Chain A
Amino acid sequence: MTLYRTICLFAAVTAFAPLFSQNIYQKAKPPAEISSFDRFLSQTRQSVKITSAPEASDNVMVRRLYLDLLGRVPTPKEALAYIQGKQENKQSVLVKKLLQTEEHAMFMTMRYGDELRIKSEFPINLWPNAAFLYTRTIYDAYRNNLPYDKFASQLILSDGSNFRNGYANFFRAVPKKDSQTIADAAAQFLFGKPLKKLSVKEQKEFIKAFSGIKFKSTREWKEEIVYSVFSPEKDPRHPFMKQVLQKNEFARNGVLRLWKWIFGSDNAAPEIIDHLTEQFRKNNYDQRALLSMICTSSAYRVSSICSGDYQKMTRYGAVYPVRRLDAEVLADSIAQITGRKNSYSSVIPEPFSYYNGRAAAIPDGSVTDQFLLLFGRPSRDTGAAGERKNIITADQRLYLFNSSDLNNRLNQIFRYKLKTEKDKLGALYLLFYSRMPTPAERKSFQEMNKKWKWRLLSRMPWVLLNSKEFLYQH
């Protein structure tokens, strides 16, 4: 009912304003310069003779922000609140609001979990208790806005029980427990590249830093104590970490990681990343401040549709790169739209782990389902970025076309969410696309519905679900 009322209100307010008449995806002009970072971006683009695509429309922006920062589509209410908002700076207000939410911290924890290989079974053997604790520890750190340099130090310098100190699992979430393997994991995390890509000197430093790490078991099943054979004063990890924190590469990798999480790839001009790295260091490694800077910038506010060299424009933040929704984001968005929660389980190890709720909040990479596997959720075996697959395949399309489970869920929309709606088509568009249908779309629908003996509405959830506008982040 509330939804219907909101839509009526919305319809009344906008009855005389041609809301989606121009272009439903973009505004007329490129995004305005509102910050010094924007000015820097403009200058950089000018120097390589690139013009930015127009600014993204409000309905695109609200969807984009919820997907990137919370990992799900906005609810109709959330979408309308933004679209109808009259504030000049509503974009940055929403960014700030979303960055403060628990959902955002949870979503970032998932991203970190991928990279730190948080899973209970094979080839990483954290065991469920430790996987849960490790996830929770990262969540708390992010939620409390622990600066990135402190966070990295906590991981690298941790010791103690894997069931008591979540950070200590950094040393256990590796396929082997020798100092070479640990050094490789550390290089991957700190500098974003495997050990073998570092200079010979650096490789030695890394291996030496972890030469004292040892493990011992306790009387509690699967509990392990991580400890260093050196006394705290002589532990080579301390001087090593001090040195790491001084390096620009360390801060730069922290920036590049967040950029990748927001734009889906690290295809960014080095000068842009360098500029942000400088800001990141100035802001004492405040990750949320950095995200805020990125998400309010013109590089983010720009439309995803442009004419011109797409790759090059992506590099300079002149177009927002389109990509398929991440597996967890897709699962969570479908769950939200259809109103049926997902449940996940791990068949290994015993006792089986279960998780009901957001796919993005699953604290353990071993807990999964067929959907997440099919849509390329990372296996968390290596922690490399390439583990996540965002390509679209025929098998995925087949699943979306034909899955009976999905079909049952789509039918539920009518049974529950839209039971009392008058404008069912409008409500469906809001659910899936975070916008109302255009007059042209409504007209097409009427014509087609008549032709197919008024059966079309029942299949519209399927149509919207299978469309690019829903399946892609844009």
Chain B
Amino acid sequence: MKKYCFSFLFLLFSGCYLSAGETAPPARSVIEIWVWGGPSQLETFDPKPKAPKEYNNGYKAIPTNVPGIEISEMLPKLAKHADKYSIIRTMTHRHNGHETASYLMQTGREPGSGKVFPAIGALVAFYKGKNYRGDLPPYVVLTKPKGRFAEEGFLGEKFKPLVTGGNPNAARFSVDGITPPGNLSKNDIAMQFAALEKFDQFGKNAGIPALQQFDSSGKEAYRKMNGSAAKVFDLTQETKEMRERYGRNEFGQACLIARRLVEAGVPYITINAQGWDSHKKHFETMKRKTAEMDQAVAALLEDLAEKKLLLTTIVWWSGEFGRTPKIQWEAPWNGGRNHYANCFSAMIAGGGFKGGKVIGVSDAVAGKVVSRPVAPQDLLGSILERCGIDPDSKFPGFTGVNEPLLPKESKAGRLREIYPEKAEKQKGKK
């Protein structure tokens, strides 16, 4: 009941904001839940309980708190928050290999152009980073790198994400490069820096050009490790209840860190949820993975809404593709699903995007798009647009790049049906 109260308050709040005569403000931050490997649409947001058993293996759909919308029984907690997010059931592209599909879903570009385009995270960091003054880089990845390609593309080193490493569920989340290793006392840390100062005598005052950056980079590093940046990763500052709410596992605690990063103003955060490439033992994998996913994402949406951060924070959830509707029972798969990009699901919430909607209709087995296909650039373009970045504008000042941020939207277009009212109207006038 309490939860509903909060979401009601949130709706009231956002309603007030809009009725004040403004369009919804651009989103400040984006949390990307990258469901790496390709999550099955059937066991998440596009269940097909009426399909034959060789498609659904007997798994059912459950109603959500939005009348008419059903999702998989594997996501019972998210079912209680369907008013906060919209479901896209008709994501579609043509790449069934992880590498090409990831590149496409992350950059909106067909691979093979000869240029490495930046991923959406690097793009948002590039634009939002201009007005961002935090100690942390504008793009943070929890906890392992996506690594399918250079995410910063031709934008360069500066827009490479900070990849935290470490385990947020450990007693102390040690973020490589931000906080000292867990087993060192304050005394040890003070001592080692004092000793470095004393013993590091090579080339002192010799005017060697290559050494000039050494001192300045060291000072900057020292300031960062002792500044506010390090505190963001300190989960002991959260209550025990809050940590439990997200689930005491790596993914759950990464979601909690993501919320703290949003509070710190970081423009783009990716949570790299690995292990969804369920070629074999699909259903065992899904049961395990969806339980963690369900709890953590539901907690994240609820928590952001309670803290009035959901209106300015986009949360999107997708893999590089979905999985084959028909279960492969033959050896060597023995109950697996393969890569499938023709029709798969994504989820998007916050940042002014309307909740409680379903975009697109898939066929009886979630294998084909029946209506309203959504191309990768449509989804990414919508996110950019809600961040106040024009996806049709050109890359500024990169030699040899005379192209817009994203390719032209598809015929069905960006997700305007879930843009906030005023913004939608404005777009309509155009």
Task: Give chain A's interface residues, CB within 8 Å of chain B.
Answer: 25, 121-123, 175-176, 181, 304-307, 310-311, 321-324, 347-350, 368, 370, 373, 376, 379, 381, 389-399, 401-405, 407-408, 441, 444-445, 448, 452, 455-456, 458-460, 462-464, 466-469, 471-472, 474
The answer to whether B181 touches A397 (Cβ under 8 A) is no
Q: Which residues of A contact B157 (CB under 8 A)?
A: 376, 389
Residues from chain B with a CB closer than 8 A to the CB of A399 are 176-177
With A379-B150, A448-B194, A469-B202 already in contact, the answer to whether A175 and B176 are too (CB < 8 A) is no
B199 within 8 A of A: yes
Given A392-B214, A474-B202: A350 and B207 interface contact (C-beta under 8 Å): no
- List residues of chain A with CB within 8 A of the CB of B176: 370, 399, 402-405
For B364, list chain A residues within 8 Å (CB): none
Task: Please list 22 pairs of residues, one from A and one from B, whose beta carbons are closer than 8 Å in the complex, sorted by A's number.
Answer: A123-B116, A307-B207, A310-B207, A347-B147, A368-B147, A370-B176, A373-B160, A381-B150, A394-B221, A395-B137, A397-B217, A398-B224, A402-B179, A402-B225, A403-B177, A444-B198, A452-B191, A455-B188, A455-B191, A459-B188, A462-B196, A463-B192
The answer to whether A468 and B202 have CB atoms under 8 Å apart is yes
For B99, give its contact among A349, A393, A452, A474 (CB under 8 Å).
A349
Whether B200 and A467, one on each chain, are in contact in the complex, defined by CB atoms closer than 8 angstroms, is yes
- Whether B111 sits at the interface, judged by CB under 8 Å, is yes
Q: Mark B160-194, 1 if CB is under 8 A from A, else 0.
A: 10110110000000111111111110011001101
On whether the beta carbons of A122 and B221 are closer than 8 Å, the reply is no
Given A402-B180, A466-B196, decide whether A394 and B217 contact each other with a Cβ distance below 8 A: yes
Min C-beta distance of B205 to chain A, whole Å: 10
CB under 8 Å from chain A, chain B span 99-136: 99, 103, 111-112, 114-116
In the assembled complex, the CB of B387 is this many whole angstroms from the nearest CB of chain A, namely 25
Size band of the interface chain B makes with A: 35 or more
B window 210-239: CB within 8 A of A: 210-211, 213-214, 217-218, 220-222, 224-225
Pair B221/A398 contact, Cβ less than 8 Å: yes
Contact A305 B206 (CB under 8 A): yes
A398 to B137, CA, bound (A): 13
Query: Distance in Å from the Cβ of B113 to the closest Cβ of chain A?
Result: 8
Q: Are B163 and A370 in contact, with the CB atoms below 8 A? A: yes
List the B side residues contacting A398 at CB < 8 Å.
Answer: 177-178, 221, 224-225
Query: A468 CA to B182 CA in the complex, in Å?
Result: 25
Contact A448 B198 (CB under 8 A): yes
Evaluate contact between A350 and B191: CB separation under 8 angstroms.
Answer: no
The 7 closest A-B pairs by CB, nearest first: A175-B114, A397-B221, A469-B202, A398-B177, A394-B220, A348-B99, A467-B200
Q: Are B148 and A348 in contact (CB under 8 A)?
A: yes
Main secondary structure of the interface of B (DSSP, over half): loop
Residue of A nearest to B145 (CB): A370
Residues in A neighbouring B98, C-beta threshold 8 A: 347-350
Indicate if the CB atoms of A468 and B217 lie closer than 8 Å. no
- Give the distance to chain B from A394, nearest Cβ to Cβ, in Å: 4
Q: Do A467 and B178 touch across chains, with their CB atoms under 8 A apart? A: no
- Chain A residues positioned under 8 Å from B145 (CB to CB): 370, 373
| Inter-chain pairs besides A123-B115, A322-B209, 19 sampled, C-beta below 8 Å | A122-B111, A122-B149, A305-B203, A311-B209, A370-B163, A373-B160, A394-B218, A395-B177, A396-B217, A397-B220, A398-B225, A402-B225, A404-B174, A407-B183, A444-B198, A444-B199, A463-B192, A467-B196, A474-B202
Using CB atoms, name the residue of chain B closest to A444: B198
Task: Given A122-B149, A370-B165, A456-B191, decide whether A463 and B209 contact each other with a Cβ distance below 8 A.
Answer: no
Partner of A176, one of B114, B163, B199, B220: B114
B20 located at the interface, meaning its Cβ lies under 8 Å from any Cβ of chain A in the complex: no
B residues adjacent to A (C-beta < 8 A): 97-99, 103, 111-112, 114-116, 137, 145, 147-150, 157, 160, 162-163, 165-166, 174-184, 187-188, 191-192, 194-196, 198-203, 206-211, 213-214, 217-218, 220-222, 224-225
Contact across chains for A350 and B200 when beta carbons are under 8 A apart: no
Contact residues in B for A310 (Cβ distance below 8 Å) = 207-209
Q: Across the interface, which residues of B come within 8 angstroms of A394, CB to CB?
A: 217-218, 220-221, 224
Taking CB atoms, residues of chain A closer than 8 Å to B181 are 402-404, 407-408
**Beta-carbon contact of A463 and B210 below 8 Å:** no
In whole angstroms, how far apart are the Cα atoms of A381 and B194 in the complex?
Answer: 41
- Determine if A321 and B179 form an interchain contact, defined as CB atoms under 8 angstroms apart: no
User: What is the CB-to-nearest-CB distance from A293 to chain B, in angstroms, rounded to a whole number?
Assistant: 25
Residues of chain A contacted by B162 (CB below 8 angstroms): 395
Whole-angstrom CA separation of A460 from B192 in the bound complex: 8
CA A125 to CA B134, docked complex, whole Å:
38
B residues near A304, Cβ cutoff 8 Å? 203, 208
Which residues of chain A come closer than 8 Å to B174, judged between CB atoms?
402, 404
Assess the B202–A392 pair: CB atoms within 8 A. Answer: no
**Residue on A with the closest CB to B221?**
A397
**A464 and chain B: residue at smallest CB distance:** B199
Residues of chain B with a CB closer than 8 A to A460's CB: 195
Known: A310-B208, A398-B221, A399-B177. A391 touches B213 (CB 8 A): yes
Say how far B429's CB is from chain A's closest CB, in angstroms. Answer: 41
- Contact yes or no, B195 A448, CB < 8 A: yes
Chain B residues near A397 (CB-CB < 8 A): 217-218, 220-221
**What residues of A have a CB within 8 angstroms of the CB of B224 in the complex?**
394, 398
B97 and A392 form a contact (CB under 8 A): no
Q: Which residue of the partner chain A has the closest CB to B200?
A: A467
B81 to chain A, nearest CB (A): 32
- Complex CA gap A459/B189 in Å reads 9
Whole-angstrom distance between the alpha carbons of A296 and B319 in the complex? 56
Q: Nearest chain A CB to B268's CB is how many angstroms away? A: 17
Is A469 in contact with B208, judged by CB distance below 8 angstroms?
A: no
Give Cα A401–Cα B145 distance, bound, in whole angstroms: 21
Least CB distance, B34 to chain A, in whole angstroms: 13
- The CA of A421 and the CA of B178, in the complex, are separated in Å by 34
Asked whether B99 lies within 8 Å of A121 as measured between CB atoms, the reply is yes
Taken together as a complex, chains A and B put the C-alpha atoms of A175 and B149 apart, in Å, by: 14
Shortest CB–CB separation between residue A364 and chain B, in angstroms? Answer: 14
Cβ distance A361 to chain B, nearest Cβ, rounded Å? 20
> Do the beta carbons of B188 and A474 come within 8 Å of each other?
no
Q: In the complex, A452→B188 CA distance in Å? A: 9
> B210–A393 contact, CB under 8 A?
no
Q: How far is the CB of A60 from chain B (nearest CB, A)?
A: 10
Cβ contacts under 8 Å, A368 to chain B = 147
CA A347 – CA B221 in complex, angstroms?
30
A392 vs B215: C-alpha distance when bound (angstroms): 10
Q: Which residues of chain A are near B165, meaning CB under 8 Å? A: 370, 405
B232 to chain A: closest CB distance in Å? 14
A468 touches B206 (CB 8 A): no
| In the bound complex, CA of A398 to CA of B225 (Å) | 7
Inside 8 A of A181's CB, which chain B residues have their CB? 114
Tell me the bound Cα distance from A349 to B100 in angstroms.
9
Whole-angstrom distance between the Cβ of A454 and the nearest chain B Cβ:
11
> What is the minimal beta-carbon distance from A382 to any residue of chain B, in angstroms?
10
- Distance, CA A141 to CA B35, complexed state (A): 44
Q: How distant is B309 from chain A, measured CB to nearest CB, in Å?
A: 27
Cβ of B210: which chain A residues have Cβ within 8 Å of it? 321-324, 390, 472
Residues of A within 8 A of B166 (CB): 404
Say yes or no: A123-B114 contact (C-beta < 8 A), given A401-B180, A402-B181.
Answer: yes
Q: How far is the CA of A299 from the CA of B101 in the complex (A)?
A: 51
Q: Chain B residues near A445 (CB, 8 Å)? A: 199
* Chain B residues, CB < 8 A from A448: 194-195, 198
A-side contacts of B137, CB under 8 Å: 395
